[in-house]
């Protein structure tokens, strides 16, 4: 049953609205400007900004001459040092870690291969030390450490905080969130990689439209997530974004099913190349993510060098991406697509022409519905930054649910 | 930029929350029960219910003994006569019209073939008389007529209030909303048929889950719409729900594309039957919706009689439905599917076994994610009732946007 709203909840929501307006403004807003963009009264803006200043979340900067006859005002901007979050992105073959400040800017970061992919216990141990090291390096006072965000391959169990990544078959099910919280003594938020990447796009203002867009994530696997009314849609259990059953010819008795990950994953592209006669010794069929990743990098190199069959592998991948994007844009009537994920930068020049050829001149029932394609500037580290943004988002975003009375 | 919230908006939201709680309760709630389910204070509940009583939106019914040590309280239920809305459902071959009361119950209704499918001007004239006739028959005082809702085949132009239905090619683009508002002098809300049908399911509480579910609509065409966080998702331009580009084999050079409507529309099922050698004189390839509809009814009759090839047509249609539903449930992590639309009742026994065979034992990455399939009890008239619910929903539903300060 839906809950009502009351004044304390409105105050907390308005704080988040003002903070978001300042965050998205680039170089700050005066109190008068904040009143205009949020619709809040001068008195409310004054109260809210006082609280934000007291909490060191914003700071006063330069004096700005107001438009018209208004008095000059002091611009407020985010205080980057007001809070810090740790982001951890676990990809089957890679590990990204970072400390970001309140603006979502990276203070320290580290990207490398995933240590001990077959031993989650050793990974937790490694992460514990890594978090300590980074927090010290970034000189984050412990009172300003807001939490740790983890972006992991799905599926996740939202309640248990566990993951069961199919590309790390030795893991089985690992209760990542409680294990890491216990090891570090810090609050941990866990979400799927694609959801974290979408939060990064949203938090850093890196989308052409802030209300409705799709995020297409290309990591060891691949996924599509919708951002709806300015919020990442997590689904009923936090596992939205799967594309397992994109159909072949469903009218036939035995539909040939394909999946986005099944056409675009590292393992699958390597397998496709092998079927076309490209020699990638060791990588084909391997379950060692580092071996697969090495084979994949070799394949990318061949395609960049113009090797015909390697080019065809990525051409086909681009068509798959375009077709999957069309299905989702039509279903949800969303016209902006943001590409991101650790593998997109290297695949982009190889896949984008075929992708664009599928989505260009898009029409529904003969009526044009043009789609825009945008590559996130965070492409490679969106999972890591997004993991940290899970923490910032939970604390500071003006979700409508914040307005509702909780149980 | 996101807007703030303030007290007058909270009051309007809380009125809608209380009204919704009463609406969903079945046989009414006392003020104490309302406080518990909405989280609102006794004082707020008292103020809100007084306003609702003054506006004749709710009425007091029986005295209820409270649980525990609370005093007995008076239950409040919706006052059905508090307001009425007209619903009009335009399907290419059929027209449904109804007056519904505040509870969503039908007071008068009329279903028949679409008059003059080639002449939108004559249709507007017909609707004008039909609205007058029904409002008189239902004895609705003019002060209690809240508006007219229209459910039409897409695509729609939200701003102009116009439609361009591909199955009524003689129409071109018709500015339905302004034409009907001018003819009747009553406010008109326009939405796509599938969106209206989903509102009916939501408004009448006819879904196993009130937060997240898919509505699959089978009319002259077919569409899928998600209900997300208790709200029908209309998309950026009000045209969500299309399934034009469900892909064949996208990795091949020339993907064979199929669409849900293209596999399930009346015209397409008739064409499929024809390809299997079933004789449906006149209907094949016709653009006259009544002729197509007659051929389709004949085909349904053959399948109900067990004619092998006719059975196969609907079996294939069921597999298409199941496959399309899988794609969307995985993408959005939604596990409840509600079937509705004017053609579903006759097709259900023919399609459901194949549909269930596709979605049963659904798993993602080897983890079970069972799907529930539910047929709306409004199946045949969900478009018509839903059209009226567009009006009720706009006035009375606790959308979060109601909490925000408007420009």
CATH number for position A13: 1.10.10.10
pLDDT score of B193 more than 90: yes
Q: How far is B135 from chain A (nearest CA, A)?
A: 33
Q: How far is A166 from chain B (nearest CA, A)?
A: 7
pLDDT at B407: 60
Pairwise CB contact (< 8 Å): A250 & B226:
no
Pairwise CB contact (< 8 Å): B2 & A18:
no
The structure tokens 């406010």 sit at: B187
* Higher-scoring residue by pLDDT: B8, B13: B13
Cα B294–Cα B295–Cα B299 angle in degrees, nearest 5: 115
User: What residue numbers bound the domain in which B68 lies?
Assistant: 7-78
- Helices (DSSP H) in B111-175: which residue ranges? 120-137
Pairwise CB contact (< 8 Å): A238 & B41:
no
d(CA A188, CA A174): 15
B404 inside 8 A of chain A by CB: yes
Nearest Cα to Cα of residue B371 among B312, B329, B340: B329
Q: How far is A171 from chain B (nearest CA, A)?
A: 14
Task: Pick from A67-76, A157-166, B19-28 the range whose average pLDDT is largest.
Answer: A157-166
Cα B247–Cα B253–Cα B256 angle in degrees, nearest 5: 30
Q: Which residue of A has its CA nearest to B235?
A: A333
Instruction: Give, rounded to a whole angstrom, the gap between the first and last alpha carbons of chain B.
Output: 11
Peptide bond into B200 cis (omega under 30): no
The conformation of residue B4, written as its DSSP 8-state character, comes to: -
Structure-block tokens of residue A133: 């090291």
A122 lies in the same domain as A51:
no
d(CA A384, CA A109): 9
CB atoms within 10 A of CB B24: 15
Give the neighbor-by-neighbor strand order of the sheet with B188-192: B106-113, B94-101, B84-91, B145-152, B188-192
The per-residue DSSP string of B64-112 comes to EPPSTTPPPEEEEEE-GGG-EEEEEEEETTEEEEEEEETTS-EEEEEEE
Pairwise CB contact (< 8 Å): B249 & A250:
no
Which among B1, B20, B330 has the least Cβ separation from residue A243? Answer: B330
pLDDT at B127: 97
d(CA B337, CA B375): 8
Q: Which residue of A has its CA nearest to B259?
A: A327
Pairwise CB contact (< 8 Å): A14 & B4:
yes
Do the Cβ atoms of B368 and B362 come closer than 8 Å?
A: yes
Among residues A60, A78, A96, which one ends one of the domains?
A78
The conformation of residue B404, written as its DSSP 8-state character, comes to: B
The conformation of residue A362, written as its DSSP 8-state character, comes to: -
B34 lies in the same domain as B112:
no
Q: Is residue A364 part of a domain?
A: yes
Query: Which chain B positions have a beta carbon within 8 Å of A226's beta carbon?
Result: 332
pLDDT at B251: 41
A344 lies in the same domain as A220:
yes
The structure tokens 């009346």 sit at: B266
Do the Cβ atoms of B273 and B299 come closer than 8 Å?
A: yes
Query: Which chain B positions have a beta carbon within 8 Å of A396's beta carbon?
Result: none
B228 inside 8 A of chain A by CB: yes
Query: Which chain B positions have a beta carbon within 8 Å of A154's beta carbon?
Result: 365
Say how many domains are in chain B. Answer: 3
pLDDT at B252: 38
Q: Which residue of B has its CA nearest to A325?
A: B245
Burial letters A153-164, b for 16+ CB under 10 A, else e: bbbbbbeebbbb
* Higher-scoring residue by pLDDT: B64, A156: A156
Nearest Cα to Cα of residue A362 among A338, A337, A379: A337
d(CA B165, CA B172): 7
pLDDT at B116: 85
- Across the range B108-136, mean pLDDT stands at 94
pLDDT score of B296 more than 70: yes
Pairwise CB contact (< 8 Å): B258 & A240:
no
B207 inside 8 A of chain A by CB: no
Q: Is residue B406 part of a domain?
A: no
Instruction: Give me the total of CB pairs closer than 8 Å, taking one residue from chain A and one from chain B.
Output: 241
Structure-block tokens of residue B91: 């399907």
pLDDT score of A164 more than 70: yes
How would you classify the pairing of strands A84-91 and A94-101? Answer: antiparallel
Do the Cβ atoms of A107 and A80 come closer than 8 Å?
A: no
Helix (H) or strand (E) holding B367: strand B367-368
Nearest Cα to Cα of residue B193 among B124, B91, B313: B91
B173 inside 8 A of chain A by CB: no
d(CA A41, CA A46): 9
pLDDT at B382: 94
CB atoms within 10 A of CB B7: 11
Do the Cβ atoms of A206 and A148 come closer than 8 Å?
A: no
- Residue B144 phi, psi dihedral angles, 5° rounding: -100, 0
Query: Which chain A positions have a beta carbon within 8 Å of B19's beta carbon?
Result: none
A69 lies in the same domain as A100:
no
- Across the range A294-300, mean pLDDT stands at 95
Query: Which chain A positions have a beta carbon within 8 Å of B2's beta carbon?
Result: 17, 20-21, 38, 230, 398
Gyration radius of chain B's alpha carbons: 23
Pairwise CB contact (< 8 Å): A38 & B228:
no
Among residues B49, B78, B107, which one ends one of the domains?
B78
Q: Is residue B371 part of a domain?
A: yes
Task: Pick from A68-82, A257-271, B372-386 the range whose average pLDDT is largest.
Answer: B372-386
Q: How far is B328 from chain A (nearest CA, A)?
A: 8
d(CA B219, CA A263): 34
The per-residue DSSP string of B270-286 comes to HHHHHHTT---TTTTT-
Q: Is B57 left (phi over 0), alpha (psi -120 to 50) or beta?
A: alpha
A13 inside 8 A of chain B by CB: yes
- Across the range A137-151, mean pLDDT stands at 95
% helix, strand, coil for chain A, step of 5: 45, 20, 35
- Across the range B201-216, mean pLDDT stands at 85
The answer to whether the Cα torsion of A248, A254, A259, A263 is positive or negative is negative
**Mean pLDDT of chain A, nearest integer:** 89
Q: How far does Cα A158 stand from its chain's mean position?
A: 17
B211 lies in the same domain as B353:
yes
B73 lies in the same domain as B211:
no
CATH number for position B226: 3.30.420.40
Q: Which residue of B has its CA nearest to A40?
A: B4
- Across the range A221-250, mean pLDDT stands at 80
The model's pLDDT over B346-388, given as tens digits with 9 standing for 90+, comes to 999 999 999 999 888 788 777 788 899 999 998 789 999 999 9
Pairwise CB contact (< 8 Å): B245 & A330:
yes
Q: How far is A12 from chain B (nearest CA, A)?
A: 10
Nearest Cα to Cα of residue A226 among A198, A189, A262, A261: A198
d(CA B29, CA B67): 13
Pairwise CB contact (< 8 Å): A2 & B20:
yes
Query: What residues pair up with B375 in beta bridges, in sequence order?
Result: B339
Distances (CA, A) of B86 to B107, B201, B388: 10, 17, 5
B311 inside 8 A of chain A by CB: no
- Across the range A179-183, mean pLDDT stands at 97
Among residues A56, A78, A100, which one ends one of the domains?
A78
pLDDT at A283: 85
A42 lies in the same domain as A97:
no
| Lowest-confidence segment of A95-109, A266-280, B35-49, B62-76 by average pLDDT | B62-76
pLDDT at B366: 76
A149 lies in the same domain as A243:
no
Query: What residues pair up with B216 in beta bridges, in sequence order?
Result: B224, B339
B163 inside 8 A of chain A by CB: no
* Higher-scoring residue by pLDDT: A83, B204: A83
Give the neighbor-by-neighbor strand order of the sheet with A94-101: A106-113, A94-101, A84-91, A145-152, A188-192
Query: Which chain A positions have a beta carbon within 8 Å of B235's beta carbon?
Result: 212, 332-334
B141 lies in the same domain as B213:
no
pLDDT at A254: 37
Q: Is residue A405 part of a domain?
A: no
Q: Which residue of B has its CA nearest to A317?
A: B251
**Mean pLDDT of chain B, nearest integer:** 89
Q: Is residue A89 part of a domain?
A: yes
Q: Is residue A404 part of a domain?
A: no
A268 lies in the same domain as A197:
no
- Across the range B65-84, mean pLDDT stands at 85
pLDDT score of B51 more than 60: yes
d(CA B342, CA B197): 10
d(CA B145, CA B362): 46
- Find residues 363-382 of chain A whose CB sits inside 8 Å of chain B: 364-367, 369
A21 inside 8 A of chain B by CB: yes
B212 lies in the same domain as B351:
yes
d(CA B135, CA B138): 5
Do the Cβ atoms of A219 and A193 come closer than 8 Å?
A: yes
Query: Which chain A positions have a beta carbon within 8 Å of B326's beta carbon?
Result: 244-245, 247
Q: Is residue A406 part of a domain?
A: no
pLDDT score of A371 more than 80: yes
The per-residue DSSP string of B234-297 comes to --SSS-TT----B-S-TTSSS---B-HHHHHSHHHHHHHHHHTT---TTTTT---HHHHHHHHH
Do the Cβ atoms of B197 and B383 come closer than 8 Å?
A: yes
Pairwise CB contact (< 8 Å): A39 & B333:
no
B291 lies in the same domain as B214:
yes
The model's pLDDT over B246-258, given as tens digits with 9 standing for 90+, comes to 655 444 333 445 5
A164 inside 8 A of chain B by CB: yes
- Across the range A259-268, mean pLDDT stands at 80
The conformation of residue A258, written as its DSSP 8-state character, comes to: B
Q: What is the ipTM of this complex?
A: 0.86
Query: Which chain A positions have a beta carbon within 8 Å of B240's beta carbon?
Result: 331-333
Distances (CA, A) of B313 to A139, A159, B263, B327, B339: 68, 43, 10, 22, 19
pLDDT score of B183 more than 80: yes
- Find residues 235-254 of chain A whose CB sits inside 8 Å of chain B: 235-251
Nearest Cα to Cα of residue A383 among A341, A343, A345, A337: A341
In sequence order, the 6+-apart residues with CB closer than 8 A to the CB of B118 are: B168, B170
Cα B215–Cα B219–Cα B220 angle in degrees, nearest 5: 145
Q: Which residue of A has its CA nearest to B261?
A: A365
* Higher-scoring residue by pLDDT: A242, B29: B29
B275 inside 8 A of chain A by CB: no
Query: Which chain A positions have a beta carbon within 8 Å of B331's beta carbon?
Result: 224, 240-243, 328, 331
Query: Which chain B positions have a beta carbon within 8 Å of A47's beta carbon?
Result: none
């Amino acid at each position: 049953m839906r809950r009502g709203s009351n004044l304390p909840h409105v105050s907390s929501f308005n704080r988040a609205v003002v903070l978001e307006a300042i965050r998205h403004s680039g170089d700050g807003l005066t109190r008068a400007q904040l009143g205009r963009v949020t619709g809040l009264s001068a008195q409310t803006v004054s109260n809210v900004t006082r609280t934000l200043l007291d909490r060191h979340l914003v700071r006063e900067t330069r004096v700005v001459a107001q438009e018209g006859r208004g008095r000059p005002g002091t611009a407020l901007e985010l205080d980057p040092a007001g809070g810090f979050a740790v982001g951890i992105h676990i990809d089957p073959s890679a590990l990204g870690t970072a400390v970001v400040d309140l603006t979502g800017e990276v203070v320290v970061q580290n990207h490398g291969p995933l240590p001990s992919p077959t031993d989650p216990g050793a990974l937790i141990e490694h992460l514990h030390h890594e978090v300590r090291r980074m927090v010290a390096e970034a000189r984050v006072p412990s009172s300003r450490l807001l939490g740790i965000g983890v972006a992991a391959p799905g599926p996740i169990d939202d309640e248990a905080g566990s993951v069961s990544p199919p590309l790390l078959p030795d893991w089985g099910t690992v209760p990542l969130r409680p294990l890491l919280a216990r090891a570090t003594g810090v609050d941990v938020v866990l979400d799927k990689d694609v959801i974290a990447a979408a939060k990064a796009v949203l938090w850093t203002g890196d989308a052409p439209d802030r209300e409705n867009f799709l995020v297409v994530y290309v990591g060891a696997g691949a996924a599509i997530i919708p951002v709806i009314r300015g919020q990442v849609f997590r689904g009923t259990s936090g596992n939205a974004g799967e594309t397992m059953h994109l159909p072949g010819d469903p009218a036939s008795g035995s539909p040939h099913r394909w999946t986005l990950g099944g056409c675009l994953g590292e393992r699958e592209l390597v397998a496709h190349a092998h079927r076309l006669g490209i020699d990638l010794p060791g990588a084909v069929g391997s379950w060692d993510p580092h071996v697969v990743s090495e084979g994949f990098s070799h394949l990318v190199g061949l395609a960049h060098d113009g090797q015909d069959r390697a080019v065809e592998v990525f051409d086909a991948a681009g068509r798959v991406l375009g077709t999957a994007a069309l299905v989702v844009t039509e279903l949800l009537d969303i016209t902006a697509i943001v590409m991101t994920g650790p593998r997109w930068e290297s695949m982009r020049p190889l896949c984008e022409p075929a992708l664009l050829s599928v989505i260009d001149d898009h029409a529904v029932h003969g009526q044009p519905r043009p789609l825009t394609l945008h590559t996130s500037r965070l492409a490679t580290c969106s999972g890591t930054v997004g993991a940290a943004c899970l923490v910032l988002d939970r604390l500071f975003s003006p979700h409508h649910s914040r307005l509702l009375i909780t149980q």
